[in-house]
Structure 1
Amino acid sequence: MTSHKIGVNLRVSGNCNQGGRKYMEDTHSFKFYKTDGKDYDFAYFGIFDGHGGAEASRFARDNLLDEIIKFDSFWSDNDEDVLWAIKSGFLDTHHAMWKELDKWPKRLSGYPSTAGTTCSVAFVRNSKIYIGHVGDSAIVLGSDVGKNNAIVMKADCLTKDHKPECPHEKKRIESSGGEVVAKSGVQRVVWNRPKWNHKGPIRRSTPIDKIPFLAVARSLGDLWSYDYITEEFVVSPEPDVSVHKLDPSIHKCIILGSDGLWNMVSPEEAVSVVTDLEYHFEDRVVYDPSATVSYWINPAERLVALSLRKWKARGLRADNTSSIVVFIDPLGPSRLTILRKKREEHFAKLREDMRIKALSKAAELEF
């Protein structure tokens, strides 16, 4: 997709798989957005890894973008204004879930829904990538740092997982009235759950069950984590935000994935897989006469399949796994247009070489 407002050409693919889980709680989204009907204003990509039900991930998928772009500051040329709008949109989406909570299925125990979701989104505009992130669904930028036409790929993680065991997250959780406790070797945020027979407001004297519950420190949803004494969410909805300049001569791909992907595939391997696939695609389109010009393999699907194979090889039940892969090209003709031209030139040269060779052979026979 090309747009001068976006600042680079983009090619996107997505894929998801339920894995070995009983329910599919991952969702993902990508959109090229335009307001004037002529040029696209920005590209938007998001991964939402739900837990406790798919309600929060679906709600974030369907509402977060609108909650962000409703702010005039999002449309500013000032990076800090844009980042403020992203952060505010996250918080407004989170608080909007309060109004939906009664509509979401209750837990089997009768408690209100504990649905929540990681949320990692990327906006590409003006040759920049703007990031908003809560949870552990990472975003990786793949770059070619080789010199003298050598291809040397590098993977940079643009997000940092929000885990309860991180010292600053643990400190924040405790200052918000929460706790972090290990369960089965995994550090989890404790759900201070009122006894089932409790009625009325929650006070210091309210009988509480302490349940080691959630393995991420920030998310959207997880409304159970609201502490009525500190009046804060122990599982914070506040995102980390950042902006990064994109240079298509160096930056080649953006990969978004849920932890079902990143628990099995390192950022370096993921970048290597999709760029190798890209070079294989280019070679076949240009040089293989048996390949159609429309030949293509979905790189996001390839990453998800690789992850699932690794889950199986380790004898583990695969998590829900989602991925979005975005290739970055310079503005101008699309990549496929360029490859078609190269293909035509290559086979035209082959035909000309064969013609000249045939004429030369015919001349030799005459003598």
Structure 2
Amino acid sequence: MFSWLEKLASAIWLPLSLYARLNKDDKDDSLNDDKDPLIWCKDLEKHTFGEFSFAVVQANEVLEDYSQVEIGQNATFVGVYDGHGGPEASRYICDKLFSHIIRTVQEKGLITSEILKTAVSATEDGFLALVRRSCGIKPLMAAVGSCCLAGIISEGTLYVANMGDSRAVIGRLNRRRSNKVVAEQITEDHNACMDEIRQELKQDHPDDPHIVVRKQGVWRIKGIIQVSRTIGDAYLKKPEFALDSSFPRFHLREPIRRPVLGNGPSLYSRELKPDDKFIVFASDGLWEHMTNQQVVEIIHNNPRSGIARRLIKSAINEAARKSRMSYDEVKRLEKGYRRVVHDDITVVVVFVDQQTNADIDEVSMRGFANSTTTSGFSTL
């Protein structure tokens, strides 16, 4: 176990990049007695079918979690994009995915899981084209990628597309157990730490003994990356993007013959029922430190306002405990240094109240951005 000073020393070697704009918590309430300067939040806002709480904490030198909530008169969209290798892929998804969804909905006239799949594929193709245009000037763009968790609530149904290890979890009441809240995980984690993912990779690559390698106590694909489905990471998908030995962190022992990572999402749809009370969309920075059941119980047993921020603080407290630090010590760490203790974390809690907010404003909201614009749903 590293000491606190050793953790700080190791953090100095994290890569530096562009400055990410920060802002403090929205409101002063009981949650703010220990203000964290790297947390951004919207404590409680309205959406089509109820209310939602939205919060993000930055740990990296440059924020790699991008996220959005889009509110329409008849639908609500949530996107959580957990980047790695840099912010370019997650930022691109945040800029492009929802517009692809709207365009496809306009063409088809309805919302389905397949529309999410089509939009995710179009976003992946667009980002790979950007990498191709940029590789001569910025070759490391080939090593930038992002998880992608996207969900739409429309006409009483939840549609979700997922790539990577961000997660969507429903909190529902169990009428047979005195209305206790129960966690129902909607998505599957695409992460090599899971035995079924490793078996799937080995079956798909029987001629590659290094397809999954245990490195520093963690299973990694090609000894490099944990997530098995992403947008981006072009050097693990197409031979033309292979990086040479001058980039040792991303250099492969041998050229790939076919994609190592999957680039298609897993799709889920579920009719929402009266016992379904809320849906949690969050990057793996939350789930690394908290179980599904812990999360839904915190939501169920606390006020709605600021609940996303409360979850982030609970995760940071647990990360601090594991690092033998206090939250107060973590709060004093600057972005970049903080990544030694915890990851960027994004949490959106969407309450499903089974009634429609008829006078809802159609807005587009992004994590770490104070301004809002009109939602793309207004074009439908």
TM-score (norm 1): 0.69
Q: Percent identity?
A: 23
The number of residues matched between the two structures is: 277
* Equivalent of 1:53 in 86, 91, 108: 86
Matched with 1:15 is 55
Q: 1:323-362 maps to which residues of 2 (within 5 A)?
A: 323-331=347-355
- Aligned partner of 1:312 in structure 2 is 320
Supply the distance in 1 between the matched residues of 2:259 and 2:76 (Cα, whole angstroms).
31
Matches within 5 A, 1:259-274: 259-274=284-299
With over 3 angstroms needed to count, the CA separation of the structure-2 counterparts of 1:322 and 1:172, relative to structure 1, is farther
How far apart are the structure 2 equivalents of 1:106 and 1:145? 56
Q: How does 1:206-245 map to 2 (within 5 A)?
A: 212-228=223-239, 232-245=258-271
Contact kept, 8 Å, 2:113 with 2:159, in 1: the verdict is yes
Answering whether residue 302 of structure 2 is matched by residue 277 of structure 1, we say yes
CA contact (8 A) 2:167 2:189 kept: yes
**What aligned pairs does 1:1-367 form with structure 2 within 5 A after superposition?**
1=46, 3=48, 9-19=49-59, 21-33=60-72, 40-72=73-105, 75-76=108-109, 82-101=112-131, 102-103=133-134, 111-147=140-176, 150-164=178-192, 165=195, 166-171=197-202, 174=205, 179-190=211-222, 212-228=223-239, 232-247=258-273, 249-278=274-303, 297-315=305-323, 317-331=341-355
Equivalent pair of 1:261/1:304 in contact (CA under 8 Å): yes
1:113/1:2 CA distance change after superposition, 3 Å: closer
C-alpha distance 318-175 of structure 1, shift in aligned 2 (>3 A): same
CA shift, 1:123, in A, is 0.3
Structure of higher CA gyration radius: 1
- Displacement of 1:22 in angstroms is 3.0
Gaps of at least 5 residues in structure 1 are: 4-8, 34-39, 191-211, 282-296, 335-367
Amino acid at match of 2:350: V
Instruction: Report the Cα offset of residue 172 of structure 1.
Output: 5.7
Work out the CA distance in 2 between the residues paired with 1:92 and 1:137. Answer: 20
- Structure 1 residue 167: Cα displacement: 3.8
What code does the residue aligned with 1:11 have? Answer: E
Secondary structure at 1:214 match in 2: coil
Q: Tell me the distance in 1 between the aligned counterparts of 2:349 and 2:63.
A: 20
Secondary structure, counterpart of 1:71 in structure 2: helix
Contact 1:69/1:85 (8 A) holds in 2: no
State how far apart, in whole Å, the 2-side matches of 1:245 and 1:11 are: 19
Question: 1:181 is aligned with what amino acid?
Answer: V
Change (3 A) 1:319 1:54: same
Give the AA of the match of 2:58.
Answer: Q
Deviation per CA, 1:275-312, whole angstroms, max 9, x where unpaired?
1113xx6xxxxxxxxxxxxxxx3111111111111111
DSSP-derived class of the 1:70 partner: helix
Task: Note the C-alpha offset of 1:236.
Answer: 1.1
Give the C-alpha shift of residue 181 in structure 1: 1.3
Structure-2 separation of matches of 1:231 and 1:64: 29
Q: Check 1:74–1:12 CA distance in 2 against 1; reply closer, same or farther (3 A cut).
A: farther
Distance change (3 Å), C-alpha of 1:176 and 1:304: farther
Question: Displacement of 1:47 after TM fit?
Answer: 0.8
Identify unmatched segments of 5+ residues in structure 2.
1-45, 240-254, 324-339, 359-380
Q: Taking structure 1 as reference, are residues 105 and 130 closer, same or farther at Cα in structure 2, changes over 3 Å only?
A: farther
The CA distance in 1 between the partners of 2:207 and 2:107, in whole Å, is 30
Q: What is the Cα deviation at residue 41 of structure 1?
A: 3.1
In structure 2, how many angstroms separate the alpha carbons of the residues matched to 1:172 and 1:332?
Answer: 47
How far is the alpha carbon of 1:76 from its aligned partner? 4.9
Q: CA RMSD in A?
A: 2.7
> After the TM superposition, which of the residue ranges 139-148 and 49-58 deviates more from structure 2?
139-148
The whole-number CA distance in structure 1 between the counterparts of 2:293 and 2:97 is 29
1:116-175: CA deviation from partner (whole Å, max 9, x where unpaired): 001111100010000100000010000011259x33100000011012352453136526
C-alpha deviation, 1:99, in angstroms: 2.3
What TM-score do the two structures reach when normalised by structure 2? 0.67
Distance in 2 between residues matched to 1:136 and 1:299, nearest whole Å: 22
- C-alpha distance in structure 2 between counterparts of 1:277 and 1:88, whole Å: 38
Q: Quote the Cα distance in structure 1 between the aligned partners of 2:180 and 2:147.
A: 32
CA contact (8 A) 1:106 1:113 kept: no
Q: 1:30 to 1:161 in 2, by over 3 A?
A: same
In structure 2, give the amino acid aligned to 1:226: K
Change (3 A) 1:176 1:67: farther
- Cα pair 1:105 1:113 within 8 Å, conserved: no
